[in-house]
Amino acid sequence: MQIIKRIGVGLVWFAGLAFIFVAANKNDPYLIALRGTGNIVLVVVSVGVLACLIRSGYWRRRGIAGKLLVLLWCLPSLSMLCAQASFELRKRNVLQTDVAQARSLGQHFMVGYSSFPEVAALAEKGLIAGIYITKQNVRRAPETLKSEISALQEKRRAAGLPPLIVAADQEGGIVSHLSPPLTKLPALSTLASLPPDLRTEKAEAFGRTHGRELAALGVNLNLAPVLDLRPDAKRNRFDFNTLIGHRAISDDPTIVADIARSYVHGLEAFGVGATVKHFPGLGRVRADTHHFSAGLDTPLAELEASDWRPFRDVLAGSRAQLMIGHVTLTSVDPDRAASHSRLVVDGIVRKKWNYQGVIMTDDLVMGAIYQNNVCTAAVEALNAGVDLLLVAFDGTQFYRIFACAKEASSQGKLDSVTLRDSEARLKRAFPPD
């Protein structure tokens, strides 16, 4: 019995430390599932355990160890209060940004959201350039979402701001975040085995279906198509989130380019822009950038001749934008991911390819960036010539990332010439009404 009792007390100590860790990190994207009701449960359980310990005499009769255990269980609630206070202060700081700075920096941010009043305030103040629509936004009726988007655009007009970029991930296949209510189309990879004329015809038809339905909702940018070459099945066996083997069109660059270009034209026919992704390519990497850093060590000549051909072909033959992923191109810049590397963005895409369209990052809340100083990455991305920073999975991280950009701007750490060029690209791609 004594051993069982000691094990029980040890578990109470361990649980207390775990509760403190969770409470102190309540705003971390990995703990997003615990927000709201989860936080309330954590506080209630903490207070309940604390009451049980006091009633059991741990404060009065168990000596120093008993008092320490009681104090330990006081900390989860206090840690949560401190974490929330820190978040609210940062949020207030961002919302109080002066108009000129808000609009100057805000044109580079696109955010996911769950609270309409909260995102409406950001849109109205010019703190963001766009919103990212996903599954949680379409749990309501399509008419409700359409009304929300329309209301946000009206607030922008009233504030004298350009229309919001409204983006969605509607690739077809397993990534069809707005289906239902939108039509669930097969993946573009299902067209790869068709004769050339038929596959391009059907690819454009897929794009037209997506374009028509997205435009009807008020969505004007689709984060598709995927241009990564399909990897060997064994190469990405630990890829549990990106699932690029299921999303890639083909392992043949010519087929990928043909299908993707036709799909993009179908989208554009309804005024919906396309975003090709995820340069410099996810097909050859083993790690999943949702959680881990990933390096791409393939020689550049080989990448140019294979993986990058679809990107260059589609960008040259359409008005598509480019999404840069969080893969590190080791032979060019081994110290940072491509998404915030000036050597990659400016050196390869801008100067070598002469691409002067809009470049956006993949979601900055992904582990490859967020766990490796997201503040530094955001500032470096802007200085590299990236035009839009995407904060999608957990939109509340916007306040942290914007605060970092704001501080860098105030300290003169943002390249004014690069930002001026970026502003010109954004105006060309998304002209004011």
Q: What are phi and psi of 318, to 5 degrees?
A: -160, -175
Nearest to 244 by CA among 224, 258, 226: 226
Indicate which residue of 169, 313, 346, 362 is catalytic. 362
Indicate which residue of 210, 265, 278, 290 is catalytic. 290
Q: What are phi and psi of 12, to 5 degrees?
A: -65, -40
Whether the Cβ atoms of residue 338 and residue 278 lie closer than 8 Å to each other: no
Query: How many angstroms separate the Cα of 416 from the Cα of each of 105, 350, 422?
Result: 11, 17, 10
Is 246 part of the annotated catalytic residue set?
Answer: no
Handedness of CA 321, 130, 421, 407 (dihedral sign): negative
Q: What are phi and psi of 216, to 5 degrees?
A: -65, -30
For residue 269 the two structure tokens come to 């026919």
Is 362 part of the annotated catalytic residue set?
Answer: yes
User: Which residues are known catalytic residues?
Assistant: 290, 362
